[in-house]
Structure 1
Amino acid sequence: MSSFIAPALAGLGTGAGLIVAIGPQNAYVLRQGLRRNGIVAVVLVCVLSDIALIATGVAGMGALAGRFPALLEAVRWGGAAFLVAYATVAARRALRPAALAAADAPDPTRAGVVLTAVALTWLNPHVYLDTMVLIGSVAATKGDPGRWAFAAGAMLASVLWFTLLGLGARALSGVLGRPTVWRLVDGLIAVQMLVVAAGLLLTG
């Protein structure tokens, strides 16, 4: 039992340290939670994506990605372009009252909410580096079956964090749903998206 618990706790700590860091994915989960719009679907997208990526990395695909940097390069440019576009929309909502009023309306479709969550997750190269490469590499040092215990801990960190962030934001939506708060949230999201996009372009 201890041979499972120790690596699982190590995976939980490593996963939490990587996932909790503020980023575009977390910002979107927070926003949709505050809006009470499709948050369960968004949380599921984030959690299931992390589980799939962690499992793939632990299974050895992280090393494969390292051998083909062109894959991450393509994702880097595509992700940066998407983040700049999303930041522009968020900044427009924050700076223009008319855009803010329009943002208070429900999203057109549940599919749009889910697709945005998918894009923010899978078009961010940091997701691959954190889950597949970093977690996969550390897990490889644990041997068998320790590496899968480590992976289980990292997966649990994702489940706990996104559930807490999304449902916690939904519970606080009544308190934080004022227009002024929304302008601040969208302004912070715009800045965060631009910072991440710049980091992607400058570190290539």
Structure 2
Amino acid sequence: MSDALAPAFISGFFLGLSLIVAIGAQNAFILRQGLLRQHVFILCLICALSDALLIAAGVAGLGTLISGSPSLILVVTIGGALFLFAYALIAFRRAWKPQAMVAAERGRSDLRAAIAACLAFTFLNPHVYLDTVVLLGSLSGQYDGAARVAYGVGACLASFVWFFSLGYGARLLQPVFERPAAWRVLDILIGLVMCAIGVSLLRSL
């Protein structure tokens, strides 16, 4: 990469990383799957590719179209909130009867169900569109030509680095989650995060 494109690439990378690292439903889901070592690669890849697709769309100018469609934002917001509340109930139910890591690993989750949940966390969350398509897309306007592409590539790379680091780095916490109490705390926190995000979505209407 030439010296002229490096600043745009670095700007896109760190801006994208700052938006993704914040605690959210998608991150909480990937963290739990990483702890269980269940479908980690495919789920991280889906999250990263989805972000890359949305970022590319934003850099290409789709952000202006989405921000100007209140009806689309309304539908996604309501659907996302309902999904988050439903998943929060599932997390609280798991917390009622927590399992240790060994027990959890014996009961492998269905891949199709995991992929469906991952896609829902990604595309039913309006914040994803606001962060990737609208915000990152609009900020790309300060660059032209190859520099704009470099900015988008940097932002996309940040997604890949973060999700795979989170998914595979979660196993470092496995000794802690050999105790059922740790799973109870994690699922309660996941449920609270889902509820908080769902409430914030409804308040934004």
Mark yes or no: TM-score above 0.5. Answer: yes
Deviation per residue, 1:36-82 (Å, 9 max, x gap): 11111110110010010000111111111112121111100000000
Aligned partner of 2:132 in structure 1 is 131
SS at match of 2:4: helix
For structure 1, the residue ranges without an aligned partner over 5 or more in a row are: none
What CA distance in whole angstroms lies between the structure 1 residues aligned with 2:108 and 2:54?
Answer: 28
One-letter identity of the residue aligned with 2:82: A
SS at match of 2:60: helix
Post-superposition offset of 1:106: 2.5
What CA distance in whole angstroms lies between the structure 1 residues aligned with 2:200 and 2:191?
Answer: 14
One-letter identity of the residue aligned with 2:23: I
Aligned partner of 2:178 in structure 1 is 177
RMSD of aligned alpha carbons: 1.5
One-letter identity of the residue aligned with 1:193: M
What CA distance in whole angstroms lies between the structure 1 residues aligned with 2:16 and 2:9?
Answer: 10
Deviation per residue, 1:90-112 (Å, 9 max, x gap): 01111x22xx3498253442111
1:1-204 pair list within 5 angstroms? 1-94=2-95, 96-97=96-97, 100-101=98-99, 104=104, 106-204=107-205
What CA distance in whole angstroms lies between the structure 1 residues aligned with 2:6 and 2:107?
Answer: 44
For structure 2, the residue ranges without an aligned partner over 5 or more in a row are: none
One-letter identity of the residue aligned with 2:149: W
Is 136-145 or 77-86 further displaced after alignment? 136-145
What CA distance in whole angstroms lies between the structure 2 residues aligned with 1:34 and 1:76?
Answer: 29
CA, structure 1 residues 177+113, in 2 after alignment: closer, same or farther (shift >3 Å)?
farther
CA, structure 1 residues 122+107, in 2 after alignment: closer, same or farther (shift >3 Å)?
farther
SS at match of 2:47: helix
Contact 1:53 1:128 in 2 (8 A): yes
Superposed structure 1 runs of 4+ greater than 4 Å apart:
none
CA, structure 1 residues 107+84, in 2 after alignment: closer, same or farther (shift >3 Å)?
farther
Deviation per residue, 1:107-133 (Å, 9 max, x gap): 442111111111111100000000000
One-letter identity of the residue aligned with 1:176: F
What CA distance in whole angstroms lies between the structure 1 residues aligned with 2:27 and 2:62?
Answer: 25
What CA distance in whole angstroms lies between the structure 1 residues aligned with 2:118 and 2:80?
Answer: 13
Q: Give the TM-score, by structure 2 length.
A: 0.93
Deviation per residue, 1:128-151 (Å, 9 max, x gap): 000000000001111222111111
Contact 2:38 2:109 in 1 (8 A): no
What CA distance in whole angstroms lies between the structure 1 residues aligned with 2:67 and 2:119?
Answer: 23
User: How many residues are matched?
Assistant: 201
Post-superposition offset of 1:188: 0.3
SS at match of 1:2: coil
Identity of aligned residues (%): 44
